[in-house]
Amino acid sequence: MATVWIRNLFAATMLMGIFSLLAASLYVLLDAVDVALTEAAVGAGLSIILMLGALVLTTSKEKVRDTRHNLLALVVVLITGGALIYGTMDMPGFGDPEAPAHQHVSPRYTQESVDEIGIPNMVTSVLASYRGLDTLGEVLVIFVAGVGVLLVLGPGRYRRRPRGSGKAQE
Amino acid sequence: MEWLGLYNYWVVVVLMMTGFYVVIAQGNLIKKIVGLNIFQTSVFVFYISLAKLDGGTAPVYVEGTTAYTNPLPHVLILTAIVVSVALTAMGLALAVRVYEAYGSLEEDEINAQDEQDA
Protein backbone atom coordinates (compact mmCIF):
# COMPACT_ATOMS: atom_id res chain seq x y z
CA MET A 1 0.00 0.00 0.00
CA ALA A 2 2.94 2.28 0.61
CA THR A 3 3.34 2.29 -3.15
CA VAL A 4 0.57 4.86 -3.30
CA TRP A 5 2.18 7.38 -0.96
CA ILE A 6 5.82 7.11 -1.89
CA ARG A 7 6.94 10.01 -4.04
CA ASN A 8 10.08 8.43 -5.36
CA LEU A 9 9.05 6.37 -8.36
CA PHE A 10 12.08 4.11 -8.05
CA ALA A 11 11.02 3.03 -4.57
CA ALA A 12 7.45 2.63 -5.82
CA THR A 13 8.69 0.29 -8.52
CA MET A 14 10.59 -1.80 -5.99
CA LEU A 15 7.51 -1.98 -3.77
CA MET A 16 5.53 -3.13 -6.78
CA GLY A 17 8.01 -5.97 -7.23
CA ILE A 18 7.51 -7.03 -3.61
CA PHE A 19 3.76 -6.78 -4.13
CA SER A 20 3.99 -9.08 -7.16
CA LEU A 21 6.06 -11.56 -5.21
CA LEU A 22 3.50 -11.55 -2.37
CA ALA A 23 0.76 -12.12 -4.93
CA ALA A 24 2.75 -15.06 -6.29
CA SER A 25 3.04 -16.64 -2.84
CA LEU A 26 -0.69 -16.11 -2.36
CA TYR A 27 -1.30 -18.05 -5.58
CA VAL A 28 0.78 -20.94 -4.25
CA LEU A 29 -1.35 -20.99 -1.12
CA LEU A 30 -4.46 -21.05 -3.33
CA ASP A 31 -3.14 -24.11 -5.25
CA ALA A 32 -2.44 -22.15 -8.43
CA VAL A 33 1.16 -23.19 -8.91
CA ASP A 34 1.37 -22.42 -12.63
CA VAL A 35 -0.03 -18.96 -12.12
CA ALA A 36 2.38 -18.33 -9.26
CA LEU A 37 5.30 -19.29 -11.45
CA THR A 38 4.17 -16.94 -14.20
CA GLU A 39 3.48 -14.10 -11.79
CA ALA A 40 6.90 -14.46 -10.16
CA ALA A 41 8.71 -14.53 -13.49
CA VAL A 42 6.63 -12.06 -15.45
CA GLY A 43 5.03 -9.82 -12.82
CA ALA A 44 7.91 -9.54 -10.40
CA GLY A 45 10.65 -9.85 -13.02
CA LEU A 46 9.78 -8.57 -16.45
CA SER A 47 7.36 -5.82 -15.33
CA ILE A 48 9.91 -4.36 -12.96
CA ILE A 49 12.60 -4.36 -15.61
CA LEU A 50 10.20 -2.54 -17.94
CA MET A 51 9.38 0.01 -15.24
CA LEU A 52 13.05 0.58 -14.46
CA GLY A 53 13.77 1.04 -18.15
CA ALA A 54 11.03 3.63 -18.38
CA LEU A 55 12.38 5.41 -15.29
CA VAL A 56 15.85 5.56 -16.82
CA LEU A 57 14.37 7.22 -19.90
CA THR A 58 12.28 9.68 -17.87
CA THR A 59 12.61 10.76 -14.27
CA SER A 60 12.18 9.06 -10.93
CA LYS A 61 10.95 12.11 -9.03
CA GLU A 62 7.29 12.74 -8.61
CA LYS A 63 6.05 16.26 -8.04
CA VAL A 64 4.43 16.94 -4.68
CA ARG A 65 0.89 18.03 -5.39
CA ASP A 66 -1.89 19.48 -3.33
CA THR A 67 -4.53 16.96 -2.34
CA ARG A 68 -7.46 19.07 -3.50
CA HIS A 69 -8.91 16.76 -6.17
CA ASN A 70 -8.14 13.68 -4.15
CA LEU A 71 -11.17 14.09 -1.92
CA LEU A 72 -13.54 13.68 -4.85
CA ALA A 73 -11.55 10.66 -6.04
CA LEU A 74 -11.71 9.17 -2.56
CA VAL A 75 -15.49 9.57 -2.45
CA VAL A 76 -15.86 7.91 -5.86
CA VAL A 77 -13.60 5.06 -4.79
CA LEU A 78 -15.44 4.54 -1.51
CA ILE A 79 -18.83 4.47 -3.24
CA THR A 80 -17.59 1.99 -5.83
CA GLY A 81 -15.98 -0.17 -3.16
CA GLY A 82 -19.14 -0.14 -1.08
CA ALA A 83 -21.20 -1.20 -4.08
CA LEU A 84 -18.77 -4.04 -4.80
CA ILE A 85 -18.85 -5.23 -1.17
CA TYR A 86 -22.64 -5.18 -1.35
CA GLY A 87 -22.38 -7.23 -4.55
CA THR A 88 -20.27 -9.90 -2.85
CA MET A 89 -23.09 -10.71 -0.46
CA ASP A 90 -24.65 -12.95 -3.12
CA MET A 91 -21.39 -14.66 -4.05
CA PRO A 92 -20.65 -18.27 -3.10
CA GLY A 93 -18.39 -18.70 -0.06
CA PHE A 94 -14.66 -19.21 -0.29
CA GLY A 95 -13.81 -22.78 -1.33
CA ASP A 96 -17.46 -23.80 -1.62
CA PRO A 97 -17.65 -26.96 -3.80
CA GLU A 98 -21.20 -26.04 -4.87
CA ALA A 99 -20.09 -22.75 -6.43
CA PRO A 100 -21.15 -22.31 -10.08
CA ALA A 101 -17.52 -21.96 -11.12
CA HIS A 102 -16.94 -25.60 -10.19
CA GLN A 103 -20.01 -26.95 -11.98
CA HIS A 104 -19.88 -26.33 -15.70
CA VAL A 105 -16.84 -27.51 -17.69
CA SER A 106 -14.31 -27.88 -14.92
CA PRO A 107 -15.38 -31.40 -13.79
CA ARG A 108 -14.62 -32.59 -17.27
CA TYR A 109 -11.25 -30.87 -17.22
CA THR A 110 -10.32 -32.32 -13.86
CA GLN A 111 -11.70 -35.84 -14.37
CA GLU A 112 -11.10 -36.61 -18.03
CA SER A 113 -8.34 -34.40 -19.37
CA VAL A 114 -5.64 -36.87 -18.32
CA ASP A 115 -7.23 -39.57 -20.48
CA GLU A 116 -8.14 -37.23 -23.32
CA ILE A 117 -4.94 -35.25 -23.61
CA GLY A 118 -2.42 -37.35 -21.75
CA ILE A 119 -0.77 -34.57 -19.76
CA PRO A 120 -0.93 -34.82 -15.97
CA ASN A 121 -0.92 -31.05 -15.51
CA MET A 122 -4.48 -29.95 -16.18
CA VAL A 123 -3.60 -26.29 -16.56
CA THR A 124 -1.32 -27.21 -19.44
CA SER A 125 -3.93 -29.35 -21.18
CA VAL A 126 -6.60 -26.69 -20.87
CA LEU A 127 -4.23 -23.96 -21.99
CA ALA A 128 -2.78 -25.73 -24.97
CA SER A 129 -5.65 -27.93 -26.05
CA TYR A 130 -9.18 -27.08 -24.89
CA ARG A 131 -8.60 -23.35 -24.97
CA GLY A 132 -5.75 -23.21 -27.44
CA LEU A 133 -7.49 -20.46 -29.37
CA ASP A 134 -7.23 -18.18 -26.31
CA THR A 135 -3.52 -18.77 -26.23
CA LEU A 136 -3.32 -17.85 -29.89
CA GLY A 137 -5.13 -14.62 -29.04
CA GLU A 138 -2.67 -14.00 -26.24
CA VAL A 139 0.26 -14.37 -28.60
CA LEU A 140 -1.48 -11.94 -30.95
CA VAL A 141 -1.86 -9.40 -28.14
CA ILE A 142 1.84 -9.65 -27.33
CA PHE A 143 2.73 -9.21 -30.96
CA VAL A 144 0.53 -6.13 -31.27
CA ALA A 145 1.99 -4.70 -28.06
CA GLY A 146 5.53 -5.28 -29.33
CA VAL A 147 4.75 -3.61 -32.63
CA GLY A 148 3.06 -0.77 -30.76
CA VAL A 149 6.03 -0.16 -28.49
CA LEU A 150 8.35 -0.15 -31.50
CA LEU A 151 6.10 2.29 -33.33
CA VAL A 152 5.89 4.62 -30.34
CA LEU A 153 9.53 4.54 -29.35
CA GLY A 154 11.44 3.53 -32.48
CA PRO A 155 11.28 6.22 -35.15
CA GLY A 156 10.15 8.90 -32.66
CA ARG A 157 13.67 9.00 -31.30
CA TYR A 158 15.03 10.72 -34.37
CA ARG A 159 12.15 13.11 -34.99
CA ARG A 160 12.26 15.50 -32.05
CA ARG A 161 9.54 18.03 -31.74
CA PRO A 162 10.58 21.60 -32.46
CA ARG A 163 9.42 22.75 -29.03
CA GLY A 164 12.52 21.24 -27.44
CA SER A 165 12.48 20.47 -23.76
CA GLY A 166 9.28 21.43 -22.02
CA LYS A 167 11.01 23.03 -19.05
CA ALA A 168 12.50 25.78 -21.24
CA GLN A 169 9.05 27.07 -22.14
CA GLU A 170 7.83 27.65 -18.65
CA MET B 1 -21.52 -16.55 10.36
CA GLU B 2 -22.03 -17.42 6.73
CA TRP B 3 -20.91 -14.07 5.40
CA LEU B 4 -17.46 -14.48 6.96
CA GLY B 5 -16.69 -16.95 4.16
CA LEU B 6 -16.73 -14.04 1.73
CA TYR B 7 -13.57 -12.39 3.05
CA ASN B 8 -11.57 -13.24 -0.08
CA TYR B 9 -13.81 -10.92 -2.11
CA TRP B 10 -13.30 -8.10 0.37
CA VAL B 11 -9.54 -8.38 0.12
CA VAL B 12 -9.97 -8.13 -3.64
CA VAL B 13 -12.27 -5.13 -3.36
CA VAL B 14 -9.84 -3.27 -1.10
CA LEU B 15 -6.94 -3.98 -3.45
CA MET B 16 -8.97 -3.04 -6.49
CA MET B 17 -10.12 0.24 -4.96
CA THR B 18 -6.53 1.07 -4.02
CA GLY B 19 -5.52 0.63 -7.63
CA PHE B 20 -8.56 2.55 -8.84
CA TYR B 21 -7.75 5.43 -6.50
CA VAL B 22 -4.18 5.61 -7.77
CA VAL B 23 -5.36 5.63 -11.36
CA ILE B 24 -7.84 8.46 -10.94
CA ALA B 25 -6.20 10.56 -8.22
CA GLN B 26 -2.49 10.53 -9.05
CA GLY B 27 -1.19 12.96 -11.63
CA ASN B 28 1.99 11.10 -12.43
CA LEU B 29 1.75 8.87 -15.50
CA ILE B 30 4.11 6.17 -14.20
CA LYS B 31 2.19 6.12 -10.94
CA LYS B 32 -1.02 5.61 -12.87
CA ILE B 33 0.50 2.55 -14.54
CA VAL B 34 1.51 1.20 -11.11
CA GLY B 35 -2.10 1.70 -10.01
CA LEU B 36 -3.34 -0.11 -13.10
CA ASN B 37 -1.06 -3.02 -12.19
CA ILE B 38 -2.47 -3.18 -8.67
CA PHE B 39 -5.98 -3.15 -10.13
CA GLN B 40 -5.10 -6.01 -12.48
CA THR B 41 -3.53 -8.05 -9.71
CA SER B 42 -6.72 -7.70 -7.71
CA VAL B 43 -8.66 -9.21 -10.61
CA PHE B 44 -6.16 -12.07 -10.78
CA VAL B 45 -6.55 -12.74 -7.06
CA PHE B 46 -10.32 -12.70 -7.55
CA TYR B 47 -10.20 -15.40 -10.23
CA ILE B 48 -7.69 -17.55 -8.40
CA SER B 49 -9.72 -17.40 -5.21
CA LEU B 50 -12.82 -18.41 -7.20
CA ALA B 51 -10.95 -21.48 -8.38
CA LYS B 52 -10.08 -22.65 -4.87
CA LEU B 53 -11.93 -25.74 -3.74
CA ASP B 54 -12.07 -26.91 -0.15
CA GLY B 55 -10.01 -30.08 0.14
CA GLY B 56 -8.82 -29.81 -3.43
CA THR B 57 -5.18 -30.12 -4.47
CA ALA B 58 -3.29 -28.30 -7.20
CA PRO B 59 -4.59 -29.34 -10.62
CA VAL B 60 -1.86 -31.84 -11.42
CA TYR B 61 -2.97 -35.43 -11.76
CA VAL B 62 -2.22 -37.54 -8.71
CA GLU B 63 -3.18 -41.20 -8.44
CA GLY B 64 -6.27 -41.58 -6.27
CA THR B 65 -7.21 -37.92 -5.92
CA THR B 66 -10.52 -36.71 -7.31
CA ALA B 67 -10.83 -33.20 -5.86
CA TYR B 68 -8.73 -30.68 -7.72
CA THR B 69 -8.77 -26.92 -7.66
CA ASN B 70 -10.54 -25.64 -10.78
CA PRO B 71 -7.92 -25.33 -13.57
CA LEU B 72 -9.95 -23.09 -15.87
CA PRO B 73 -9.49 -19.78 -13.97
CA HIS B 74 -5.79 -20.57 -13.70
CA VAL B 75 -5.55 -20.79 -17.46
CA LEU B 76 -7.46 -17.56 -17.95
CA ILE B 77 -5.24 -15.73 -15.47
CA LEU B 78 -2.09 -17.17 -17.02
CA THR B 79 -3.19 -15.49 -20.22
CA ALA B 80 -4.22 -12.32 -18.39
CA ILE B 81 -0.85 -11.93 -16.64
CA VAL B 82 0.96 -11.99 -19.94
CA VAL B 83 -1.52 -9.57 -21.46
CA SER B 84 -1.08 -7.27 -18.45
CA VAL B 85 2.65 -7.15 -19.09
CA ALA B 86 1.99 -6.25 -22.70
CA LEU B 87 -0.29 -3.48 -21.44
CA THR B 88 2.34 -2.24 -18.99
CA ALA B 89 4.95 -2.16 -21.73
CA MET B 90 2.65 -0.22 -24.05
CA GLY B 91 1.68 2.27 -21.33
CA LEU B 92 5.28 2.85 -20.31
CA ALA B 93 6.29 3.37 -23.93
CA LEU B 94 3.61 6.04 -24.26
CA ALA B 95 4.76 7.62 -20.98
CA VAL B 96 8.35 7.76 -22.22
CA ARG B 97 7.16 9.36 -25.44
CA VAL B 98 5.11 11.94 -23.52
CA TYR B 99 8.15 12.73 -21.40
CA GLU B 100 10.26 13.26 -24.51
CA ALA B 101 7.70 15.64 -25.95
CA TYR B 102 6.81 17.59 -22.79
CA GLY B 103 9.70 17.09 -20.40
CA SER B 104 7.31 16.08 -17.67
CA LEU B 105 5.26 13.14 -16.47
CA GLU B 106 2.79 15.22 -14.45
CA GLU B 107 -0.67 15.49 -15.91
CA ASP B 108 -1.27 19.10 -14.83
CA GLU B 109 2.04 20.34 -16.27
CA ILE B 110 1.25 18.64 -19.56
CA ASN B 111 -2.20 20.22 -19.64
CA ALA B 112 -0.73 23.64 -18.86
CA GLN B 113 1.69 23.31 -21.77
CA ASP B 114 -1.11 22.29 -24.10
CA GLU B 115 -3.13 25.34 -23.12
CA GLN B 116 -0.13 27.59 -23.68
CA ASP B 117 0.26 26.25 -27.20
CA ALA B 118 -3.40 26.56 -28.09
B66 to A20: CB separation less than 8 angstroms, yes or no:
no
pLDDT the model gives residue B98: 83
Separation between Cα atoms, residue B42 and residue B39, nearest integer Å: 5
Chain A residues near residue B16 by CB distance under 8 angstroms: 81, 84
B69 to A85: CB separation less than 8 angstroms, yes or no:
no
Report if residue B28 sits inside a domain: yes
Show Cβ contacts of residue A158 under 8 Å, excluding neighbours closer than 6 positions: none
Show Cβ contacts of residue A19 under 8 Å, excluding neighbours closer than 6 positions: A3, B38, B41
Report if residue A100 sits inside a domain: no
Domain count, chain A: 2
Report if residue A150 sits inside a domain: yes
**Domain hosting residue B73, numbered range:** 7-117
Show Cβ contacts of residue A115 under 8 Å, excluding neighbours closer than 6 positions: none
Report if residue B2 sits inside a domain: no
Nearest-neighbour CA in chain B from A75: distance (Å): 10
Nearest-neighbour CA in chain B from A10: distance (Å): 10
**Domain hosting residue A54, numbered range:** 1-64
Residues A1, A55, single domain; the answer is: yes
Report if residue A88 sits inside a domain: no
User: For residue range A126-145, what is the model confidence (pLDDT) as tens digits?
Assistant: 777 777 788 888 888 888 88
ipTM exceeding 0.85, yes/no: no
From the candidates B4, B30, B76, B83, which should be mutated to test the interface with A, based on the most A CB atoms within 10 A? B30
**Cα A140 → chain centroid:** 18
B13 to A16: CB separation less than 8 angstroms, yes or no:
no
Report if residue A146 sits inside a domain: yes
End-to-end Cα, chain B, rounded Å? 61
Report if residue B1 sits inside a domain: no
pLDDT tens over chain B, length 118 residues: 455 667 777 777 888 888 888 788 777 888 888 888 888 888 888 888 877 776 666 766 666 666 677 777 888 888 888 888 888 888 888 888 888 888 777 777 887 888 887 7
Domain count, chain B: 1
Chain B residues near residue A152 by CB distance under 8 angstroms: 90, 93-94, 96-97
- CATH number reported for the structural domain that contains residue B91 in this entry: 1.10.287.3510
